[in-house]
A and B are shown apart, each in its own frame.
Chain A
């Protein structure tokens, strides 16, 4: 299933914040996690992640640091801040409201096109 690109863009920052809340990481590993949690259904051009991370950094929601763990290559590691956690809580609240509104508008029986778990069971 291809997800509309506006929807991908809108969900990108809560998704990244949510994954960073699990612990600090670098871009490549973060994208692996995005593929895992979306079961490969969210398709990004990998490079687009970095301008997004830089925006979150400017907003003070994440902090970044260059580091070279022993035996690995030099990478820029990103970690969520307290402001970022607060923003994540707020975004979760908003997405929750959107999901509830959609559930109210779409009767559960009329969602045959959705393969796998339906919106309501998530």
Chain B
């Protein structure tokens, strides 16, 4: 506080006069507002308090100078105050978990580490492509996240600046990767095995949980730590999509430029460019989440505001159409997969919206749109489940049907409770943080289901 209380500072007006007081208050405001845990509204609240105090002290006969000093002193040391705000408003601070301190040297170090890890991921995926020729397409697809995501885990796990080192926890992070590689490679897969495809589809969810654990470490049980993982994931998806768009343009330009050299050359270049680019972007997007935090942080509410109503409309329309026409007649597997994806997108949208909202907000139009979207998704999910059960009754259980049935069941419970809570929130009976708490406590169920499909389904169906 030394600079704010320096008696030699008289930017304008007579020393100790009103203009001087204003300058000091402005100084103090800037100082308090520097902590990310103290929002502009908090600074305004504290300033109103300080001015009330100064007015009272002046009325009691103190000079402006004295009144300001006493008032600032009574508010408490700025460091202790920021720490107290940080304890209550951890959500404003989550970036401190992963973001380098503002020093330029540390920023460069993190960039260097990110580039090295991105190159590592790009090379690993090429090694897999070159050596994996004998393994078969499905095994290579299953192994791709196993070889790429460790670089992501290394970036988020090693780069944390919150003082905590993962230490022995690295073993917890590494275990799913080792187990995943073993589960893809070792079993005696049958020719055209559908359980192998299911393993390749569900393994990334388990590995994502391992990366999330690398991000939050020992805090993984706390709802706010899990919300950190959700936020980081949502922003990573946005950055990855942006990079993929740019990468698409790059690939298009490459094809155009190299076309005169013949298809064989183009194909070779693409075989190096596309997988490596996709793998490297996994790490680069995560680095952007950490380094360019505030950019997408401000985008999340906008994206949710745009897409939640749109999804509500689309989902309501399709739920109405299918409820009227029925979907049992020509309900094939691709459509079923599409429905599962749609429900996952709705869940993602709900999570993304929750992660961007303040825990103490009041219900608004966006919550109505979200409730409509969730209820429509529930109606669709119920229709899918009925159709699925019909197929199981007619044709018996197959691995694909068990996986789809389980995923639908898991999503049904999730969205059902989410809808009840959202309705309660709109009616003013449920507080906003209950919605977030439900979703964060349900995340392990989603991961556990994926792990179950990876571990149990293949042997049960004898690797068919």
Residues of A within 8 A of B (CB): 26-28, 45-48, 50-52, 54-55, 57-60, 73-76
Contacts and interface: CB of A to CB of B under 8 A. Distances in A.
A35 B331 CA distance: 71
A46 B45 contact: no
B76 A28 contact: no
Given A28-B52, A28-B53, A58-B433, A48 B89 contact: no
A48 B81 contact: yes
B49 interface: yes
Contacts of A55: 88
- Chain B interface mostly: helix
Nearest to B430: A60
Nearest to A28: B52
A33 to B, nearest CB: 13
Contacts of B53: 28, 46
A27 B84 contact: no
Contacts of B76: 45-48
Given A51-B84, A54-B89, A57-B360, A45 B75 contact: yes
Nearest to A83: B431
- Chain A interface mostly: helix
B89 A45 contact: no
B360 A50 contact: no
A43 B17 CA distance: 30
B87 A51 contact: yes
Of residues B41, B45, B48, B360, which shows the largest number of chain A Cβ atoms within 10 Å of its Cβ?
A: B45
Nearest to A30: B49
Contacts of A76: 41, 45, 48
A57 B360 CA distance: 7
B48 A47 contact: no
Nearest to A54: B88
A45 B74 contact: yes
B51 interface: yes
A47 B46 contact: yes
Given A60-B431, A75-B48, A46 B89 contact: no
Given A45-B76, A57-B360, A28 B48 contact: yes
Nearest to B48: A75
B85 A74 contact: no
